[in-house]
Amino acid sequence: MSETESIPAAAQERAAELRRLVEHHARQYHVLDKPEIDDHEYDMLFRELVDLETEYPGLQTPDSPTQRVGGAPLESFTKVRHRRPMLSLNNAFSADEVRDFVRRAERALGSVHGYVCELKIDGLAMSVSYRDGAFERAATRGDGVQGEDVTANVRTIRSVPMALKQDHAPRGEVEVRGEVYLPKGVFAALNARLEDEGKPIYANPRNAAAGAVRQLDPRVTARRGLQTFMYQLDPPGRAASQEEVLSSLESMGLRVNPHRAFAESVDDVLAYLDHWQDKRHELDYETDGVVIKVSSLAEQAELGSISRSPRWAIAYKFPPEERETTVLDISVQVGRTGAVTPVAMLEPTVVAGSTVRRATLHNEDEVARKDVRIGDTVVLHKAGDVIPEVVRVVLEKRPKRSRAWQMPERCPACDSALVREPGEAVRRCVNPLCPAQRLERILHFASRGAMNIEGLGPAVIVQLIDHGYVTEAADLYHVTAEQLLTLEGFAQRSAEKLVQSIAARRRVPLSRLVNAIGIRHVGERTAELLAEHFGSLESLEAADEEKLRDVEGIGDVVAHDVAMWLQSDDGRAYLEHLHAAGVSAETSHRVEGPLSGQTWVITGTLDSMTRPEAEERIHALGGTAGSSVSRKTHAVVAGASPGSKLEKATRLGVRVIDEAAFLAELAELEPGRA
Ligand code: IVH
In 110-226, DSSP assigns E strands to 115-121, 124-131, 134-140, 146-148, 173-181
Res 614: pLDDT? 84
Tell which one of 213, 231, 245, 290 to mutate to probe ligand 1, the residue whose CB is within 8 A of the most ligand atoms: 231
Q: In whole angstroms, give the CA distance from residue 332 to residue 413.
A: 10
Query: Model confidence at 137, in pLDDT bands (50, 70, 90)?
Result: very high
| Residue 29 in this model has a pLDDT that exceeds 80 | no
Q: Which phi and psi (to 5°) does residue 15 adopt? A: -65, -40
Q: Which domains does the chain have, with CATH numbers?
A: 9-67 (1.10.287.610), 79-317 (3.30.470.30), 323-427 (2.40.50.140), 435-586 (1.10.150.20), 599-669 (3.40.50.10190)
* Atom 2, ligand 1: residue with shortest CA distance: 87
Largest CA distance in the chain: 86
Say if residue 589's pLDDT is above 50: no
Tens digit of each residue's pLDDT (9 = 90 or more) over 357-369: 999 998 999 999 9
Is 374's C-beta closer than 6 angstroms to any atom of ligand 1? no
pLDDT digits (tens, 9 = 90+) for 514-541: 999 999 889 888 898 898 888 889 899 9
Residue 166, SS3? helix
**Residue 293 CA: which ligand 1 atom is closest?**
1
335 within 8 A of 440, measured Cβ to Cβ: yes
- The answer, yes or no, to whether any atom of ligand 1 lies below 6 A from the CB of 291, is yes
- Mean local confidence (pLDDT), 377-393: 87
CB atoms within 10 A of CB 574: 20
94 versus 199: the higher-pLDDT residue is 94
Q: Ligand 1 centre from 324 Cα, in Å?
A: 30
Rg (CA), the chain: 29
| Active-site residue set | 120
- 271 alpha carbon – ligand 1 mean position (Å): 21
Chain segment 155-201, per-residue pLDDT in tens: 999 999 999 987 878 899 999 999 999 999 899 888 888 877 767 78
Checking if the pLDDT of 472 tops 60, the result is yes
